[in-house]
Structure 1
Amino acid sequence: MSAVLPVVPLPGARKRRARTLATWVLVGGPILAFCLWALFDSPRLFLITLLNGLTLGSLYFIVASGFTLVFGLMRNVNLAHGSLYLVGGYVGFIVAERTGSWLLAVAAGFAVAALLGLLMQVLILRHMQNQDLRQTMVTIGLSVVIADLLIWIFTAQVHQMEAPAWLQGPIRGIPVINAYSAYRLSLLGLGLVIGVALWLLLHRTRVGMMIRAGVDDRGMLSAAGFNVNLVFAVTFALGAGLAGIGGVIGAVELSMVPGEDTRLLLASLIVVIVGGMGSVVGAAIGAAILGLAETFGLVYAPTYSVVFTFLILVLVLAFRPRGILGRAA
């Protein structure tokens, strides 16, 4: 009988494991200590802040999931993504005022943002494939033009939609967090539904296989007889439409005002960088981390709350340069 040799970990693997453990202790230790202190100090404040952070993260995920498709997966640099969010929000606001239907407002915000995104991809970005600098400069210009047009049409006044009637008012009867906003809590379910649907689309459908194959080898997919331009155009429109849905939701939760496009674009960039390029699950994790960091920062350290966002970026780029679930090239 042949002897079974023991498996001895390589020195490099042991070093990586030790470095990972040290990272978890360095980052997780202070966070765990803070959570225990905050929970015992005021359980209600801690749990409400936790829910607020997760619901804000859900909104960030809905917007950033479209950015994940366009930037993280297709590698199209669309810095007008925040403008699509704003367009969807204003369109949803108008439709809701005219019809009184929140669901129709969501559908209109999605449709108009998707159509605008489709035009951007077909008329402009399609002719700049793999030209990141040109895409960056052109989409920055587009975002400025769209933002100025929206200010011209809607002025700089704050616009805010009402939540649908079936989601207005607080939810009562929940221990500790009694009277929490029904609409805000519904964002968790909506984010989960969109996340699962996107994951199934990319990993369990023929369309998703074509999208991923076109990203990896565009020429091979075209040689196999598929219309790559059509696949990419539909994907871009879907990503833009998700930004429009986020705009309608944000019109209720955050209100519509000039400058929100820049804020949501920055949030989407952070979510994609933290979560990992092209990963829907990574985007969900990144959005949750960003939402929690912003909310807990505003409640427990308002003076330094903005620092936490950039601290997250520093830690991720230092220890996981490709993001939490990013794949090696």
Structure 2
Amino acid sequence: MTTILLIEQVLNGLQFGVMLFLMAAGLTLIFGVMGLINLAHGSLYMVGAFAAAAVAGATGSFILALIASLVAAAAAGAIVELVVIRRLYDRDHLDQVLATFALILIFSEGTRWLFGSFPLFLDIPPALSGPVTLPGGIEYPLYRLVIIGVGLFIALGLFQLIARTRIGIRIRAGESDREMIAALGVDISKLYTLVFALGAGLAGLAGALVGAIQSVQVGMGEPVLILAFVVIVIGGIGSIRGALVGALLVGLTDTLGGVLLPGVFATFMEPSAATAVGSSLASMSIYILMAAVLLFKPTGLYGSA
């Protein structure tokens, strides 16, 4: 493998990891603060992608499409929290899993009813299309670099929100002792709605950003949701820093594994067999990574007991 190809794959892994962070950050906030297992988080990712595709098709503006993805997903998340999730906080996790799985079906069929079964396409804006030349003569798509930059900027903003604002203090306090902050006069119901809407908005934004690379279709959020759960297990439940580190590790492991492992086995196996074995192990590499982390640190890299 050439150095240029390796650097390109590292950048692809960073872009994939940043997208996973936008999903996992909201998921880890919801689970860490509310103690809620939300299987419908991938549906909110899908809602953001479809909202962006619809607005971009109607207006031709990519910026308006991104705003629409945030607003639509956050609004959908707030409505879901008020109507359904609020009744599940005192129920066991099995009830939460069953209820949020039902929400997946509702969102999928509702989206299919509104937009049809055929994929939609969100075009990359002309200003962000095409490659740019990086140091060393590496050409890489500008839009993927923008995704990396946007994701890291949002990560910095979330760190500042959680660590330095009054809302962030309340979120951290709600994660530690929700009964105590309720006794101190904090409206825990409004806090939960805010956290859920924030997590949903981040998922919707991730869907819109990725929708310009892939097609926008019903059910697109479920595979990403599985990887987001892997991310928060690796990083530690409730930790934004853990979500970022875990997402980057998963993104790089998945991307580089698919490129490097077939080449490793090709040194002592026939090319066809090496490709098959390497590809199979590459698809399992993120789960092997998760198992290795849990073996040495069961709470995740930055989680607490």
Give TM-score, length-normalised by structure 1. Answer: 0.84
User: Which residue of the other structure, out of 195, 205, 211, is the alignment partner of 2:171?
Assistant: 211
Cα distance in 2, alignment partners of residues 237 and 153 from structure 1? 22
Q: Separation in 2 of the partners of 1:251 and 1:221?
A: 39
Give 1:323's match in structure 2, choosing from 266, 281, 300.
300
Distance across 2 between alignment mates of 1:152 and 1:143: 14
Which letter does structure 2 place at the counterpart of 1:116?
Answer: A
Q: 1:172 to 1:211 in 2, by over 3 A?
A: same
Q: Which residue of 1 aligns with 2:271?
A: none
Q: Which amino acid aligns with 1:46?
A: L
The CA RMSD measured in Å over matched residues stands at: 1.4
Letter in 2 for 1:174: P
Q: Tell whether the 8 Å contact from 2:32 to 2:175 is kept in structure 1 after alignment.
A: no
Shift of 1:206: 0.5
Q: 1:133 aligns with which of 74, 94, 116?
A: 94
3-state DSSP class of the match of 1:158?
coil
1:136, distance to aligned residue in structure 2 (A): 1.2
* Aligned match for 1:224, one of 158, 172, 184: 184
**Counterpart residue type for residue 321 of structure 1:** P
Q: What secondary structure, in the 3-state scheme, does the structure 2 residue paired with 1:253 have? A: coil
Residue 313 (structure 1) aligned to one of 267, 290, 293: 290
Cα deviation for residue 173 of structure 1 reads: 5.1
1:285-306 per-residue CA deviation (whole Å, 9 max, x = no partner) reads 1111111111112223334321
Number of residue pairs matched by the alignment: 287
1:80 to 37, 40, 43: 40
Distance 2:259 2:119 in 1: 24
Deviations 1:60-115 (A, max 9, x none): 11121111211233322111000000011001000001111111111111111111
Partner SS for 2:212: helix
Asked if residue 238 in structure 1 is aligned to residue 215 in structure 2, the reply is no
Q: Which residue identity is paired with 2:202?
A: L
Contact 2:33-2:174 within 8 A present in 1 as well: no
Residue 153, structure 1, aligned to residue 114, structure 2: yes
Alignment of 1:78-117 (within 5 A): 78-117=38-77
The residue type equivalent to 2:247 in the other structure is A
Taking the aligned partners of 1:211 and 1:130, their CA distance within structure 2 comes to 19
Structure 2 CA distance for aligned equivalents of residues 176 and 285 of structure 1:
29
1:57 aligns with 2:34: no
State the TM-score, normalizing by the size of structure 2.
0.90
Matched, 1:272 2:232: yes
Distance (Å, rounded) in 1 between the aligned partners of 2:2 and 2:291: 30
State the alpha-carbon separation in 2 of the partners of residues 304 and 214 from structure 1: 40
Give the SS at the match of 1:323. coil
Match of 2:218 among 258, 262, 272: 258
Q: What is aligned with 2:273?
A: none
Distance 1:173 1:289, change over 3 A: closer
Q: Which range moves more in the overlay, 182-191 or 146-155?
A: 146-155
Amino acid at match of 1:255: S
- Correspondence for 2:28: 68
In the alignment, is the contact (CA less than 8 A) between 2:258 and 2:282 conserved in 1? yes
Aligned position for 1:18: none
What secondary structure is seen at the aligned counterpart in 1 of 2:186? Answer: coil
Task: Specify every segment of 5 or more residues in structure 1 that has no aligned partner in the other structure, as ranges.
Answer: 1-40
SS at match of 1:172: strand
Aligned-partner residue type, residue 78 of structure 1: N
Deviation at 1:176, TM superposition (A): 4.2
